[in-house]
Structure 1
Amino acid sequence: MAGTPDITNPYYDAYRLAGEQVSSTFEGRIVNIQEGYLIHPTHADGFVDKGDPVALFDGVGVALKSASSATEVIPVDTEGVWRLSVTNTGLNNFGTITVGQVLFIDPSGVVNDHWVGAYAIYGYALEPIDSVRTQIIAVKVHWQYPYWYYDPVQQ
């Protein structure tokens, strides 16, 4: 019957309010991916390290553990605010990285400010970088549409 709430639905809540979180913290944001599928910064052993920014096709996140083989399954947090090494290339329209600016991850696992050669949109800067350099800053990591989705030339 239309308009009758389905109280058997696990998301049903008679007291719900707009803006409340339905999932518990971390629910759905952690994905488990084999190390061999991850793009990440280069290390001596060739495997991802805990805390590395990673990309998996169009998805992005932060590795929650280090790997010792390419077949090891790595939990990846796909959301949140993380302190990460970010490179200001100086090639964007502003020459600086400003708060709220979109950041990208490149095929080498480097998070930076320039979309050319980028693998995926990585997230947003929460701290500025005022000159061309690499610095550890707070980044809002966010898995979203691929950057080319917004580029009419690529469609």
Structure 2
Amino acid sequence: MAKNFVQEGRRLFLTAGSGVKSGDPVAVGQIAGVAVADVDSNNQTTVDTEGVYKLSVKGIDGSGNSAVAIGDAIYFVSGDTPKLSKKATGVLFGYSLGTVDSGATAIIPVKLK
């Protein structure tokens, strides 16, 4: 093993912000993932940056309502509810493995980037 190895890198201990719960999508800078546990008293948690998770996604993009298709890029926008959609103004989060009707919100599998 190389002497400069730090960690595998799939799961990172990061400051994710207040109120983050286990299973929530998060973005820290350009690092996107899913919280593995609720944040602690310092707003830190372990964030999984790989895999496929069922998450709430809204069928919108930067121009308004837009259906989500399998393979569409999904972005994290911190000020939105839910935080995941096709709005390219956010942080690239991953790729849709399900569909959402235009303007609707649904829980679908999302592959983390």
Q: Higher relative contact order at CA 8 Å, sep ≥6: structure 1 or structure 2?
A: 2
TM-score w.r.t. the length of structure 2 is 0.82
Map 1:91-110 → 2, pairs under 5 A: 91=62, 95-108=66-79, 110=83
How many angstroms does 1:133 deviate by? 1.1
**1:123 maps to which of 90, 94, 103:** 94
Where does structure 2 lack aligned partners over 5 or more consecutive residues?
A: 3-7
For residue 73 of structure 1, what is the aligned residue in structure 2? 44
Matches of 1:108 and 1:90, distance apart in 2: 14
Identity of aligned residues (%): 31
Q: Which has the higher strand share?
A: 2
How many angstroms does 1:130 deviate by? 2.4
| In the alignment, structure 1 residue 31 sits paired with structure 2 residue 12 | yes
Matches of 2:66 and 2:14, distance apart in 1: 35
How many angstroms does 1:124 deviate by? 0.3
Where does structure 1 lack aligned partners over 5 or more consecutive residues?
A: 1-9, 12-26, 40-45, 143-155
Matches of 1:108 and 1:100, distance apart in 2: 24
| In the alignment, structure 1 residue 113 sits paired with structure 2 residue 94 | no
Matches of 2:99 and 2:71, distance apart in 1: 9
Deviant stretches of 4+, over 3 Å:
90-94
For residue 139 of structure 1, what is the aligned residue in structure 2? 110
How many angstroms does 1:49 deviate by? 0.3
How many angstroms does 1:72 deviate by? 4.5
Structure having the higher Rg:
1
1:135 partner letter? A
| In the alignment, structure 1 residue 58 sits paired with structure 2 residue 18 | no
Report the secondary structure of 1:79's partner residue: coil
How many angstroms does 1:89 deviate by? 1.3
2:72 partner letter? Q
Q: Is the 8 A contact 2:61 2:88 kept in 1?
A: no
Q: Is the 8 A contact 2:56 2:107 kept in 1?
A: yes
Name the count of aligned residue pairs.
106
1:59 partner letter? I
| In the alignment, structure 1 residue 83 sits paired with structure 2 residue 54 | yes
